[in-house]
Amino acid sequence: MLSQALSVLPLNSAELFSASALNGTAKKVKLASNTRQPNSTTSTHRIGPSNPSRKTQKLNLEVSPHRAVSAVRLMRIELGGAFADLLNEQGKGSGDNEMGYVERTLGFRTRDLDDRNLRLVTDIVGGTIRWRRYLDHLILSLCHDEDTFRCMEPLLLQILRIGFYEIVKLDMPPYAVVDENVRLAKVALRPGAGNLVNGILRKLVLLKESNSLPSPEVNGDDRQQARALSTIYSHPVWMVRRWIKFLGREEAIRLMMWNNSDPTFSLRANIGKGYRRADLVAQLEKLKVPYDLSAHLDEFVRIKTGMQVVIQAGLLKDGFCSVQDESAGLVVSIVDPQPGESILDCCAAPGGKTLFLASCLYGQGMVTAVDINKGRLRILKETAKIHQVHNVVTAVHSDLQTFAENNHVKYDKVLLDAPCSGLGVLSKRADLRWNRRLEDMEQLKTLQDELLDSASMLVKPDGVIIYSTCSIDLEENEERVASFLLRHPEFVVDTADRYVPHEFVTENGFYRSNPVKHSLDGAFAARLIRSQ
């Protein structure tokens, strides 16, 4: 059924990488464990004294570790098997995990990744993904031959993108960038690839130094202007046209600039474990991680840097806090969970909102978490134990439509955090903009209507359903609610004014966070009461 096929459209925290797919690509681009350069310092070495069972591997001491990891990770992202940051890793082993992918793909390991290199990988990969369309425009301009660009080997293209990003956006020392990316291309591919990288990057350096980088002119009809803006601000053309239509050109540009900025992350102190924001603040100060207190939610803090420090300190792994944007926390405020209530979370995994809801019950009541993805539901159950809220969380593996048809229990509150385009989280999910198509929007709207109809069957009289998304799109948000109310006149809008600050409440009484206005992820929620 449609809901079963599409209910996992938005990507979550589990990696879905196919090693066989990457190995096939590796063969195609002739990744050269057997094209080692005579002047490279490559030796047979046993990496990592803490793991004596590891087989001996080839070690290259000249290739920059963060560039090798970034290039391989970018290839994995394009194959659908990785994300643009390392936040899904569980701690100190993340660098070794990344180097394992390099070893299996390129045939050698580099020096181990230290904390600085891990941060560079996240910065470079995230930035390269965000600016991909613009970087490809520059690369194509310097190739002077579209066929050369279109037929470029995947790994070679990723190395060029990294070099272009480092020079144009990070302002790294240009000739050091050239030398190190040339070395990577020669060792991982062949001498001719290194020569090509050398020639193109040196052209780029000259153009940047003379302030002559090629940029498209924003002129012509609406379609031509949107195409130029999509290149300058590195977004798909269909998104740019859609935002100009709904938001206006200047607001669309501000939104794209926000999406291209370095994201700020929020941490939620886990009150379910008796851990308050004051405890989290004390730990952050001890770790020397700068923070700001949330202006909207009592248990949240914002951090711009230091996430790797937080991860390695074990604060996430041990359940003292969670990475959760304030926009998602405000959705839980709209639910307004109270001790003793029965709450249904319809598309629950990986469980960020589920865990927050459960912690607000203080051991009294129940959150039933339904999801079609068995693997992610297992992660939710494991995390609930770590967060010490498993006594009020029941996980159910089911398609929502089937669950609604077969379940006779009604709930006080039903949260439908619906699968959506994710257009509100493009700052953090750098890769998502390239994984969405205009055609997806129609499929998603049909799915959202189906899920809302199913969820409505599970609400008690005088109970509440909360429909939410992490999208800023009117068609996924206000229009879906309006359509639902026409089909279900037994539901009425309960204004969000009583649950979140007024600045987040629309004229129709819905909750909406605006990335540009509020400096949060974009999100939406409607609270609907069943009147009969």
- Supply the residues annotated as catalytic: 470
Does the annotation flag 100 for ligand binding?
no
- Residue type, position 38, single letter: P
> Would the CA dihedral through 307, 310, 312, 314 be positive or negative?
negative
**How many other β-carbons are positioned within 10 Å of the β-carbon of residue 40?**
16
How far from each other are the two terminal CA atoms of the chain, in whole angstroms?
30
Which pairing describes strands 411-417 and 511-513: parallel, antiparallel, or unpaired?
Answer: unpaired
**Orientation of helix 94-106 relative to helix 19-28, angle to 10°:** 40
Does the annotation flag 371 for ligand binding?
yes
Tokens 């102190």 correspond to 269
Does the annotation flag 417 for ligand binding?
yes
By residue count, the chain amounts to: 532
Which pairing describes strands 411-417 and 459-469: parallel, antiparallel, or unpaired?
Answer: parallel
DSSP structure class, residue 345: E
Does the annotation flag 339 for ligand binding?
no
DSSP structure class, residue 499: T
In 270-359, DSSP assigns E strands to 292-293, 300-303, 321-323, 342-345
Does the annotation flag 337 for ligand binding?
no
CA dihedral 122, 197, 59, 102 (to 10 degrees): 40
Report residue 102: phi and psi, to 5°: -60, -45
Residue 370 burial class via C-beta count within 10 angstroms: exposed 0-12, middle 13-18, buried 19 and up: buried
Does the annotation flag 347 for ligand binding?
yes
Does the annotation flag 191 for ligand binding?
no
DSSP structure class, residue 14: S
Report the DSSP beta bridge partners of residue 17: none
Tell whether omega for the bond before 515 is within 30 degrees of 0, i.e. cis: no
Does the annotation flag 350 for ligand binding?
yes
Does the annotation flag 399 for ligand binding?
yes
Q: What single string gives the DSSP state of each residue in 407-475? A: ----EEEEEEE-----TT-TTT-TTHHHH--HHHHHHHHHHHHHHHHHHHTTEEEEEEEEEEES---TT
- In whole angstroms, give the CA distance from residue 335 to residue 134: 41
> What is the helix, strand, coil percentage profile of the chain, to 5?
50, 15, 35
Q: Is 49 helix (H, G, I), strand (E, B) or coil?
A: coil
Closest CA to 345 of 333, 358, 359: 358
- In whole angstroms, give the CA distance from residue 463 to residue 440: 32
* Annotation: binding site for S-adenosyl-L-methionine: 347-353, 371, 399, 417
Binding residues, as ranges, are 347-353, 371, 399, 417
